[in-house]
Amino acid sequence: MLETLVAQMRTSASIALGIPFSLRALDRLIEAMRQTRHEFGAVGAQAADLLRGPALDEGTRRAVHGRRFRAQAVRAAAETAYYADLFGRLGLDPSKLRYEDIQRIPPTTKEALREDPDAFVSRKAAPAFWTTTTGTTGRPTCISFSEREMRTYIALEAITFLHNGEVQSDDIVQISTSSRAALGNTCFAGGCARAGAMVSVGGLIEPRETLAMLAQERRVPGKKPRTSVLSIYPSYLGELVEYGLSHGYRPGDFGLERIFVGGEIVTEGLKRRARRLFGPVALGEGYGMTETWPLTPMVCSQGHMHYEPSQALVEVVNHETGMAADAGETGTMVATPLPPYRETTILLRYDTQDVVRVLLPTSVTCELAHMPATSKVLGKLRLAVHHDRGWTYPRDVLEAVEGLEEVPLPARCGMWAVPGGVAVEVVARRNAPEAARTIRATLEQRGVPVRELHVGEDPRQLRHPWPVRSDLKELLFADSGASPPPHEDGAAGTASAGGRP
């Protein structure tokens, strides 16, 4: 018990003071939490306080962020090529930065990181894991992490699962995301395994194969009879719903209890339709991107996205003025991962290009009101449309159409500016007048200023289609119609099971 108390104090000190995490302390906490959950079925509330850090008022939060940002900026200027050059050109001494000076540093763009990722790697770090983004917004971006960082992220993931009870030792977990999402998959799978669960990486394959795996009955000692936890993209979840309902699957065919869904916009319509297939599952929304890892905002009961101040400094920058967005305004999320969470690839004021809305202070009355918050992501800025009546964002359209039976999942859409508003294109099951009327009425109810509506049945006819992650399919031999390659030892299937002929 004393050793666990020391480990808890050591971890709390890392979060509160920004000093490196002790891997030994994290390991001890995981062991203690697993034992506690095994004996008592729950973990005490102190674990939540440990992970979230102390509640901070606005003045204290600004002081903490100013101090942490300054420390990271000093490291960046001394240890990375990109920021050494930037601070030199700006004539700024990072050691003298105040909170008010942070906005003098121009946001780091995805293009700068994409063109020279090594320029952001600390010369004092020990890179051990090099990963890329999945590339849905262009050429993949590359980020490096140390072994310590990866072990820390996995341990923190496990602690979160154990505290919340979201993943337990008798769970069977399936990951149905792209294999190129190596960082998220590694941390999620590692966290589940350390929580005691069994993990299967199914990949982004044809829906029929994934549904067959989810419905398969298992006989693994100490585990549930079917897959109970699923990690998936919203668009791929939509594909499962479409295929499953049209091929006779129903809730009784599955054992899913929880679905972690993220990487794209999650709509209320998708959630409702997913429960028709899988039953009353818990659907947990998440936000995470490789560049700002491990920033993982929490979605509260009122639908806000809340940010743990110790993980990162999160700003919202008005995408028209370039200044801090005021309450009620929209802007792109600009994030600085802070110590002790990031030590290898250092990013200051990284512009995610994810648009959010700054909340009115009086509207935040939820259970996480003590933490900074914004709206959920409204979409990528490059997919938003500026017209003579203002801005329309992808979420405005998706929230309207993904709840309609006339629109197959995932919704295939596009949008562009026209006089007086926007033109919207949507793929429907049938290009019929009644379908178009329903879609238009629902869009208008959501406040979308529709001036033109183009409804078709073929996604290939879309003029400006939005990318969806479910299109990043990974083929099986059965899908391609090809036969597995021959093997020298004559044992068919032995080598191909590992993906290497």
Cβ contact 259:278 at 8 Å? yes
Mean pLDDT in residue range 437-443: 97
- What one-character DSSP code corresponds to residue 324? B
Residue 132 has a pLDDT of: 84
In one letter, which amino acid is 142?
A: C
**18: confidence class by pLDDT, cuts 50, 70, 90:** confident
Kindly list the domain boundaries of the chain, sorted by start residue.
384-471
Upper half-sphere CA count for residue 91 (Cβ side, 13 Å): 0
Q: Dump pLDDT digits (tens) for 351-373.
A: 999 999 999 988 889 989 889 99
Rounded Cα distance between 242 and 211, Å, is 11
Q: Dump pLDDT digits (tens) for 450-470.
A: 999 999 999 999 999 999 999
Residue 406 has a pLDDT of: 97
Residue 355 has a pLDDT of: 98
Rounded Cα distance between 92 and 90, Å, is 5
Average pLDDT for the chain = 90
Q: Dump pLDDT digits (tens) for 226-279.
A: 999 999 999 999 999 999 999 999 999 999 999 999 999 999 999 999 999 999
**Location of structure tokens 């699962």:** 161
**180: confidence class by pLDDT, cuts 50, 70, 90:** confident
Residue 40 has a pLDDT of: 72
Tell me the backbone φ, ψ of residue 424, rounded to 5 degrees: -120, 135
Cβ contact 80:121 at 8 Å? yes
Cβ contact 461:432 at 8 Å? no
Residue 385 has a pLDDT of: 97
**Location of structure tokens 């101040």:** 309
Rounded Cα distance between 6 and 340, Å, is 19
Residue 51 has a pLDDT of: 56
Upper half-sphere CA count for residue 485 (Cβ side, 13 Å): 9
pLDDT over 70 (residue 399): yes
**52: confidence class by pLDDT, cuts 50, 70, 90:** low
Q: How many other C-beta atoms are found inside a 10 Å radius of the C-beta of residue 196? A: 20
**47: confidence class by pLDDT, cuts 50, 70, 90:** low
**392: confidence class by pLDDT, cuts 50, 70, 90:** very high
pLDDT over 70 (residue 146): yes
pLDDT over 90 (residue 431): no
Residue 300 has a pLDDT of: 92
Tell me the backbone φ, ψ of residue 314, rounded to 5 degrees: -110, 125
The pair of structure tokens assigned to 477 is 């031999």
Rounded Cα distance between 59 and 459, Å, is 51
Q: How many other C-beta atoms are found inside a 10 Å radius of the C-beta of residue 35? A: 11
Say what percent of the chain tops pLDDT 90.
79
Transcribe 83-129 into DSSP letters: HHHHHHHHT--GGG--GGGGGGSPPBPHHHHHH-GGGGB-TTS-EEE
Residue 490 has a pLDDT of: 38
pLDDT over 80 (residue 498): no
Rounded Cα distance between 409 and 393, Å, is 19
Rounded Cα distance between 325 and 323, Å, is 6
Transcribe 335-364 into DSSP letters: EEE-TTT-SSB--SSEEEEEEEEBPPGGG-
Q: Look at residue 174 and give its three-state secondary structure.
A: strand
pLDDT over 90 (residue 49): no
For residue 308, which of 317, 321, 295 has the smallest C-alpha distance? Answer: 295
CATH topology of domain 384-471: Alpha-Beta Plaits (3.30.70)
Tell whether the torsion through CA atoms of 84, 85, 86 and 91 is positive or negative.
positive
Residue 136 has a pLDDT of: 66
Question: Which CA distances in Å does 322 have to 94, 106, 351?
Answer: 22, 10, 11
Q: Which residues contact 134 (CB under 8 A, 6 or more apart)?
A: 140, 178, 180, 181, 263, 469, 472
Residue 479 has a pLDDT of: 66
Within 213-279, strands assigned E span: 229-232, 258-262
Pairing of strands 258-262, 282-286: parallel
Transcribe 44-83 into DSSP letters: -THHHHHHH-----HHHHHHHHHHHHHHHHHHHHHH-HHH
Tell me if the bond preceding 294 is cis, omega within 30° of 0: yes
Residue 7 has a pLDDT of: 83
Residue 13 has a pLDDT of: 87
pLDDT over 60 (residue 495): no
Q: Dump pLDDT digits (tens) for 284-322.
A: 998 999 999 999 999 999 999 999 999 999 999 999 999
Say what percent of the chain tops pLDDT 70.
91
Residue 43 has a pLDDT of: 65
pLDDT over 80 (residue 489): no
